Chain A
Amino acid sequence: MLNIKSLKASIDGKPILKGINLNIKPGEMHAIMGLNGSGKSTLANIITGRDCYDVSDGDVIYKGDSLLEKSPETRALEGIFMSFQYPVVIPGVNLTYFLKAALNAHRKHRGEEELDAMRFLKFIREKIKQVEIDEKYLKRAVNEGFSGGEKKRNEILQMITLEPSLSILDETDSGLDIDALKIVANGVNQYRNKDNSFLVITHYQRLLNYLKPDFVHVLIDGVIVKSGDMTLAHKLEEKGYGWLES
């Protein structure tokens, strides 16, 4: 699904990623843990195509092709999704309209018929139940007046609406209370199957306790210093990151 090969990247001349290797197969969930500034979000941004980074070395291969020259929307349409750490507000654009535009862009790309307003509404009403979002939010502007938890649930709503092959969850657990965390984890788990892959970026193990990733990697200063399974996450929670630093 996703193969990251000795990826090196910098921003404004400052190296952030110093040779990342990561291979995610279909159906796998990988978690990347690390402190602030370790390069976790940079990695997510490079995969999704945010253009403020210089990639100096290495490659990111997705479904057999290099991603690096592709536009962000092409990557999205080819099945890469990111749940944003800080979802943006788009004033005046109601959520239904936004979701419909996004879904129809995907359907068009897949050669499927676009959904009209009526069919879309029927479709989305089913989806919002899965993430326990009240229907009234569909009429609001995108993320406007949403609480932290509502924003994150809205991100997961978009994920299950667009049905990506690879979902990147960038600190989706930050700012969530325990109930919202469960709803979010539940939404993600329902979407897991043998074809869909996940890259979960987080500081803490609490979301991972619900998601139970197949692999856990620790990123420190732009390098993956250790990989393992859930026991590694437990150990980090217990001991912190200090023991891993050389």
Chain B
Amino acid sequence: MTDIIEKTIEQDYKYGFVTNIEQETLPPGLSKDVIRTISKRKNEPKWLLDWRIKAYNHWLNMEEPDWAKVEYESINYQKISYFSAPKKKELKSLDEVDPELLRTYDKLGIPLEEQKLLAGVAVDAVFDSVSIATTFKDELEKYGVIFMPFSKAVHKYPELIKTYLGSVVPYTDNYFAALNSAVFSDGSFVYIPKGVRCPMELSTYFRINAQNTGQFERTLIVADNDSNVSYLEGCTAPQRDENQLHAAVVELVAHKNATIKYSTVQNWYPGDPKTGKGGIYNFVTKRGICKGDHSKISWTQVETGSAVTWKYPSCILKGNHSIGEFYSVAMANHHQQADTGTKMVHIGTNTKSTIISKGISAGKGQNTYRGEVKMMKGAENARNFSQCDSILIGDECGAHTFPYIDVRNPTAQMEHEATTSNIGEDQLFYCNQRGISTEDAVSMIVNGFCKDVFAELPMEFAMEAQKLMEISLEGSVG
């Protein structure tokens, strides 16, 4: 079966291409001047610039974390360019969009025109750092839903941004969150008013394009009392030789009775299959707070890309009876390294959390689940269920599980289950004997393994996720 492994290794990253569009890019380097320039370009109010500068000053005194089970060449932050935007801006219709850019979307399989027709998905397409087009605006406006580029929201809804920015992930939180706070380029802002069930899935496609350009997205979603929203995030990136840093911050706030569902399918360039060089560093801070009673936040992620992943979408369960969920499929093939998991902090009474993590390791991939469940003193009758399963394909990869448990209330209940298994030769032979090729068998077995998580994804994403798994897995059998 070694020849099959080699075949996989030789497979190119299918979304590896570069769009040739004129970019307006700042020269590499990070300083207060650079931050001022970014802020000025975006015509930001003073309070935001001040916040950025505070974050930067804080970041200067921090150390890059090294506790994750990942290894990578150290990042030279002075070699990264912190702002890049396509030159034409503020387009009124798709006709004005650079045709080259539209072709990029076509290659990615997300033509905007088609998106409009598809199942009511509104797309706020972020190309590099500046939003190009927003669709379905009118429909959302009718319900009072705010869904717009972050940079616009700063001007239009400064009070909301002021109230919530950094309220879940303060700039002091960690090294990469501080960096993001200092230099964030753009992102999305969502506000769902009281009692509104958002009429469509909200979706944003991020894409890293310019060489050496760090991508620092900022997403903020606020769901007011009794509201409901489902947000989809999906990413692919073109092939590049030098490492690209991505340090996004996502903050979710769920008020009383509100539900936020946040789904991610991530397929950034994982690096050269033979050497592991050139892939994306994905150092993301995602956290949500269930502020009100009976609120709910649900994270679902399918992570198939990036060279190094450092990501722990978490929930702070503050409201009584609030619910946190984390469903994850993480895949590490070739030289990929993933250290991912979640943190559930139970503060309110009768809070409940569920963690379902499926790790797939293939090639020389290293996959780590790292999760913490914390039951605070006041978390009467809190409950957690965790299930962490790993599957190994071949004998050069690794799966690691680090569950941290901290219970300070005697009425709290926790359950933790973990399994690790190999894709068995028996299973493969059984499929082969039924005429199913080894590649199809592996993808079938892995998709079966991930089923519980895929079931949590919105329909259109579930299909995409399965396709991604197939692409990432083709032939990775040992």
Which residues from chain A sit less than 8 Å from chain B, CB to CB?
48-50, 71-73, 76-77, 81-82, 84, 87-88, 90-93, 97-98, 101-102, 105-106, 109, 141, 158, 162
With a cutoff of 8 Å between Cβ atoms, the chain A residues found around residue B429 in the complex are: 50, 72
Give the docked Cα–Cα distance between A159 and B434 (Å). Answer: 9
B434 touches A90 (CB 8 A): no
Which 4 pairs of residues, A with B, have the shortest CB-CB distance?
Answer: A92-B448, A93-B448, A102-B434, A72-B432
Question: Which one of B93-101, B305-313, B439-447 contacts A?
Answer: B439-447
* Chain B binding surface SS class: helix
Give the docked Cα–Cα distance between A211 and B46 (Å). Answer: 88
Q: Does B437 contact A (CB under 8 A)?
A: yes
Partner of B432, one of A76, A92, A93: A76
Which residues from chain B sit less than 8 Å from chain A, CB to CB?
424, 426-427, 429-438, 440, 444-445, 447-452
- With contact pairs A105-B434, A158-B434 given, residues A91 and B448 touching in the complex (Cβ less than 8 Å): yes
A76 touches B430 (CB 8 A): no
> Could you give 6 example pairs across A and B, Cβ below 8 Å?
A48-B433, A98-B431, A101-B434, A102-B431, A105-B436, A109-B435
Give the docked Cα–Cα distance between A73 and B451 (Å). Answer: 25
A198 to chain B, nearest CB (A): 16
B467 to chain A, nearest CB (A): 16
Give the docked Cα–Cα distance between A93 and B429 (Å). Answer: 16
A101 touches B449 (CB 8 A): no
Partner of A91, one of B431, B438, B449: B449
With a cutoff of 8 Å between Cβ atoms, the chain B residues found around residue A91 in the complex are: 448-449
Partner of A88, one of B430, B435, B447, B451: B430
Give the docked Cα–Cα distance between A88 and B437 (Å). Answer: 17
- With contact pairs A88-B426, A88-B427, A101-B440 given, residues A72 and B433 touching in the complex (Cβ less than 8 Å): yes
Give the docked Cα–Cα distance between A115 and B447 (Å). Answer: 21
A73 touches B430 (CB 8 A): no
A76 touches B435 (CB 8 A): yes
- Other than A73-B436, A90-B448, A98-B444, give 14 A-B pairs with Cβ distance below 8 A: A50-B429, A73-B432, A73-B435, A73-B437, A76-B435, A81-B433, A87-B430, A92-B449, A93-B448, A97-B444, A102-B436, A105-B434, A105-B436, A109-B435
Partner of B424, one of A49, A88, A93, A97: A88
With a cutoff of 8 Å between Cβ atoms, the chain B residues found around residue A93 in the complex are: 444-445, 447-448
With a cutoff of 8 Å between Cβ atoms, the chain B residues found around residue A84 in the complex are: 430, 433
Give the residue among B424, B427, B431, B437 with the most A Cβ atoms within 10 A: B431
Partner of B435, one of A90, A97, A106: A106
Give the docked Cα–Cα distance between A105 and B437 (Å). Answer: 9
With a cutoff of 8 Å between Cβ atoms, the chain A residues found around residue B424 in the complex are: 88
- With contact pairs A84-B430, A88-B424, A90-B430 given, residues A101 and B436 touching in the complex (Cβ less than 8 Å): yes
With a cutoff of 8 Å between Cβ atoms, the chain B residues found around residue A98 in the complex are: 431, 434, 444
Partner of B434, one of A49, A71, A162: A162
- With contact pairs A93-B445, A98-B444 given, residues A82 and B433 touching in the complex (Cβ less than 8 Å): yes
With a cutoff of 8 Å between Cβ atoms, the chain A residues found around residue B431 in the complex are: 90, 98, 102
With a cutoff of 8 Å between Cβ atoms, the chain B residues found around residue A48 in the complex are: 433
Give the docked Cα–Cα distance between A76 and B430 (Å). Answer: 10
